[in-house]
Structure formats: structure tokens, C-alpha cells
Amino acid sequence: MAELHIPRTLPEGASVIPLVRNAIAVASSKGGVGKSTVCINTALSMARMGASVGLLDADIYGPSVQLMTGIQQQPEITSDNRLLPVEAHGMSMMSMGFLADENTPVVWRGPLLAQAVQQFLAQVEWGELDFLFLDLPPGTGDIPLTLSQAIALSGVVIVTTPQEVALEDVERGIAMFEKVDVDVLGLVENMSYYLCPHCSERHEIFGHGGGRAFAQRLGIECLGELPMDADIRRGGDEGTPIAIAAPQSSHAQAFADLASRILTITAELAQPGPG
């Protein structure tokens, strides 16, 4: 595999994690759109390309990385009380799911959520990473705002489904990131279609073209249309994401294409502008 050249989009000295070259948030303003599935499989695809990748599960209330990757171990602590990320599938990971008891809910108010996220950024020994993916909780609350202020994000990828009710919420989320000066790298339409395994006919169960038309209207890029498939769902439920379980499949290739597009965009962002 050819060595990847990963440009740096984070300015020197602007981040609480200085050895991270690029920090990509994956967000959705509505729950249930498959944001974590998109984030995990895209991050794993990036790691398979040869990039050094980390994944921070910033959903403190409903962490899912530990379930969707099949990892149930606690992180080690260094002598100076820093957390070492859990290493699996060629990727460094941190999640409240690695720390909290499986059956104990996290019942915290906003300030504690913000503090937990800041500790995950500053007190985890991430090391040198080409990309740190941040899986944000749905909505526009404390955690997305804290991350936008605590770290100079390279940009955010917005995940939606084709339905109008999801797209309406997405517009609010995009407006929030624009207000805090975070670049929206583009929109991903998840569960865009179902490809029948028997006749190979494509079925748009939740509608057709809504995400692409929405992105065009807002002047942002549509980064991809991802399928709805039982193998993708099963991979997350069983702790073997499709990017690992079946990397040569057409479904895994859809996530690899998304990772390639993010690579291209970050390379473009790293180029100096006029003047």
C-alpha cells in the first residue's frame, strides 16, 4: 500500500491535542439516522487506507462505539493520570462506554457533559494522528458547542436520511455550526436506498434525492449516498462493522469512497488561500 500524505488542517498551537493533524466531527441534528454507523465505518475505512486514525465517541448519554466495534475493555491509565485510548481494528478509540458500567445511566447536567468532553480531548494520550473522528450526539446542545470551542475542528460532516422531517432538523444543525465558525464539509445521505439482493433493483424506501437537492440548495457538497442494508445493521449489532467484516463488499466500498472524499477535501483545505 502506497504511503498516504496527510496534510494538516489544524493550525499549530490552536488545538488541545497538538499531534492531531485533522479533526473531523460527524454530526446529525436528528437521532436515528445512523450517524455512528457512518462515523465508525468511515474512520475504519480511513485506517485501512493507511492513515493513523482515532475515534472519540462524544455521545456521553448514549455511547455506542464499544457495542458497534465489539470492544468491552477499560482504558489503561498512565503514571501521570492520563488515559490511553483503546486500540482495536487499527484505530485508537475512547468512549464513555469503556468507562461506565453497562447498565448504569449517565445522569449529568450540561456543565458535567462539557467537562467530560474536554477531558476526553485533553487528558487522553491520543499520540500522533492523521485524523481524529468525533462522533457527536444528535442535536445542537452542550457537547457540539463545547467541541466547537475547545478544538479547532477541521470541519463537520452532516449525516441525514432522505425524509423531509430529518432534513428540516439538519438545516438547524448546519446553522449552528456556521454560527460557531466550523466549516461544513458536506452532507451524507444515509439509508438512501435498498438494493434488492435477488433482482439488484434499487428501492428508495425513504424517498429519492432529498439529501442531494437539500445540499445543492444550501450550497454544500453531497458527499455520498449510503445504502440501507441488513449486513450493515448486523455488523454494528454484532460488533464487526462492515468495513472490517466485508471490506471488499459494495457496501464497504461506499464508506471507503466517503473516506476518500474526506481525504480530498482536507487536502484542499490545507492549501494556502490567495494572499
Residues 6+ apart with CB under 8 A from 10: 20, 21, 22, 23, 151, 152, 154
Gap between the Cα atoms of 245 and 248, Å rounded: 9
Share above pLDDT 90 across residues of the chain, in percent, rounded to a whole number: 37
Mean pLDDT for 271-275 is 59
For the chain, the structural domain boundaries read 20-269
**Per-residue pLDDT reduced to its tens digit, 54-95:** 999 988 777 889 899 998 888 898 888 888 999 989 999 999
User: Do residues 234 and 119 lie in contact, with contact meaning Cβ atoms separated by under 8 Å?
Assistant: no
Q: How far apart are CA 231 and CA 245, in angstroms?
A: 9
CATH superfamily, with its number, for domain 20-269: P-loop containing nucleotide triphosphate hydrolases (3.40.50.300)
Helix (H, G, I), strand (E, B) or coil at 86: strand
- And the C-alpha cell for 196? 434488492
| CA distance readout (Å), 227 to 162, 216, 224, 255 | 11, 20, 10, 10
191 sits in which H/E element: strand 184-195
* Angle made by CA atoms 40, 46, 51, in degrees to the nearest 5: 130
> By the 8 A CB rule, do 97 and 67 touch?
yes
In this predicted model, which residue has the larger pLDDT, 141 or 220?
220
Name the residue with cell 483503546: 86
pLDDT of 49 strictly over 80: yes
Alpha-carbon gap, residue 90 to 207, rounded angstroms: 36
Amino acid 43: pLDDT: 97
Residue 230 has what pLDDT? 85
pLDDT tens, 105-115? Answer: 454 555 566 67
Report the pLDDT value the prediction gives residue 275, as an integer from 0 to 100: 45
What's the first-to-final CA gap in the chain, in angstroms? 36
**CA-to-CA separations, 237 to 33, 126, 133, 174, 186, in angstroms, rounded:** 15, 27, 21, 29, 27
b/e per residue, 249-267, with b = 16+ CB within 10 A? eebbebbbebbebbbebbe
Contact (CB, 8 A) for 116 and 92:
no
Give residue for cell 428501492. 203
**How far does CA 164 lie from the centroid of its chain?**
22
